[in-house]
Amino acid sequence: MAGMMSRLLCLLAFLVASSAIDPTADAACSVGGCGSGDDSWLTSAQSFISSDVPLVGVRASATAGSDFAYSRSFQAGPQVRSNNSTPSGIPALAEAYVTPGSREELFISPQMLKSLDSLPEEEVALDVSSRRSSGQSHIRGAVNIPARSFFYDNGSLRNISELAGLLGQAGVSRSDSVMVYGDSFASGEATAVLYALRCLSHEQARALDGGLDNWMAASLPMESREAARPPKSYIPGRSLESPADYDLVRSGSVQMIDARRIQEFGREKIGNATWISPESLLVEGRLKANLNMTFARLNANQTVVVYSDEIFGCSLVWFALELMGYDARIYRWQDWQEHEEQEKTGILNASDQR
């Protein structure tokens, strides 16, 4: 114990001496926080922390399997809340700070994008993460409806009456201004639910520019208390979206984008479809700034149909296209396969009858 105290006193003396010599020691910290630079004292402190001196109040025998363990790979520097949570429900820490604010100037038609900043009191935050558990931190006042609840097991959208009942029970009406978000924007949960809301004619609905991880990294308001709203009557209107059908896709009058995995695109695709992966649209969990480069081959005056075998990635591409001013529609790859199989079966039956 005496040896440990001696080393602690030596470190303290070293830090005091460093502050006296270096006139910048009292300078304001950067956005990343104090200790985010390459200061020599920080390196020495890191070496001390990583040494064999046991932490006060912690037995040297503590391991990862015990009630409390400590890591010798601790790194000092900027730490910001992330989406990950500890067993107690307290958010863990992320690696980078995200600057809040609007990025509307990056997009041609940003009406469906909610900027990464504080939420107006009258706007409903709809948390659609399928992994949310009770007591886990979320955006202040948010109500949770898992994204998968909006779709059948085969990925198709539930019927209008089911969707209306789902939203009404959660206390959401079509006249409410709604901001949709998921744990991460890359999951596609928020954009898929936004698409569902637009099919119900919910005009005042937007997706958050990023996910809960970005919201946390921007140090915006959070809470772990479960929010509840009194049930409302949700009266759907005429759809704001026109889902693509087999006849439209087969007509050849639209541009096709395949949003499936590259291996599947290589095996089979629809017509002269262009492959665009949802991941290629993102940088650090948000839509990238230069989407014009990604969509450079497309004709802005011609309808674009995005298809995939799952709605979430497909909706990400649809959303990005809409923000860039395209008339974009969603189509299910399974529907194409079913119709093609019927066509083949019909041809075979006709041949057998001859």
Task: Quote the number of domains for the chain.
Answer: 2
Domain assignment present for residue 340? The answer is yes
Mean pLDDT of 178-204: 98
Same domain as 281, residue 198? no
How many Cβ atoms are within 10 Å of 279's Cβ, its own excluded? Answer: 9
> If you compute the radius of gyration of the chain from its CA atoms, what whole number of angstroms results?
26
The domain boundary residue, chosen from 190, 223, 256: 223
Domain presence at residue 288 = yes
Q: Is 250 in the same domain as 219?
A: no
pLDDT, tens digit, 9 for 90 and up, residues 165-179: 999 999 999 999 999
**Hey, what long-range contacts does 295-300 have (CB within 8 A, 24 or more apart)?**
295/320, 295/321, 295/324, 295/326, 298/255, 298/274, 298/326, 299/255, 300/325, 300/326
Is 85 among the domain residues?
A: no
pTM: 0.72
Residue 257, token pair as written in the block? 């984008």
Residues 268 and 216 in one domain: no
Question: Quick one: 109 and 212 in the same domain?
Answer: yes
What is the mean predicted confidence (pLDDT) over 241-254? 95
187 and 151 in a common domain: yes
142 pLDDT band, cuts 50/70/90, is: very high
pLDDT digit string (tens) for 3-43? Answer: 555 555 555 555 545 444 444 434 333 333 333 344 443 34
Q: Is there a single domain that holds both residue 198 and residue 295? A: no
* Full domain range(s) for residue 185: 104-223
CATH number of the domain that residue 148 is part of: 3.40.250.10
pLDDT, position 136: 82
Residues 149 and 251 in one domain: no
Q: Are 332 and 259 in contact (CB under 8 A)?
A: no
The C-alpha torsion from 323 through 328 and 329 to 331, rounded to 10°, is: -100
Q: What is the three-class DSSP state of 48?
A: helix
Question: Which residues are bridge partners to 139 per DSSP?
Answer: 222
| Residue 322 one-letter amino acid | E
In this structure, is the dihedral angle defined by the CA atoms of residues 293, 105, 281 and 324, taken in order, positive or negative? negative
Question: Quick check: 325 and 108 in contact, CB under 8 A?
Answer: yes
Same domain, 250 and 218: no
Q: What is the DSSP letter of 142?
A: -
Check residue 8 and give its pLDDT: 52
98 lies in some domain: no
199 and 281 together in one domain: no
User: Does 157 fall in a domain?
Assistant: yes
222-223 and 138-139 beta bridge pairing:
antiparallel
Both structure tokens of 231:
């049930």
Q: Which one has a higher pLDDT value, 310 or 55?
A: 310
Please indicate, yes or no, if residue 239 is contained in any of the structural domains: no
Angle subtended by helix axes 40-49 and 2-21, to nearest 10: 170
Q: Name the more confident of 109 and 87.
A: 109
User: What is the per-residue pLDDT across 221-247, written as a single tens digit (0 to 9) for each?
Assistant: 999 888 889 999 999 999 999 889 999
Q: 97 lies in a domain?
A: no
101 φ, ψ (degrees, to nearest 5): 130, 175
CB 286 within 8 A of CB 185: yes
Q: What would the pLDDT profile of 108-123 be if each residue is shown by its tens digit?
A: 999 999 999 989 989 9
DSSP labels for 18-45? HHHH-GGGGSPP-TT-TT-S--HHHHHH
Within the chain, residue ranges assigned H as helices are 2-21, 40-49, 160-169, 189-199, 212-217, 246-251, 262-267, 291-294, 311-323, 333-353
Contact 158, 240 (CB under 8 A): no
208 and 117 within one domain: yes
Contacts of residue 279, defined as CB under 8 A and 6 or more positions apart, other chains included, come to: 186
- 351 domain-assigned: no
Residues 203, 254: one domain? Answer: no
Q: Are residues 121 and 180 in the same domain?
A: yes
**In which region does residue 115 sit, left (phi positive, over 0), alpha (psi from -120 to 50) or beta (all else)?**
beta
Q: Angle, nearest 10°, between helix axes 311-323 and 189-199?
A: 70
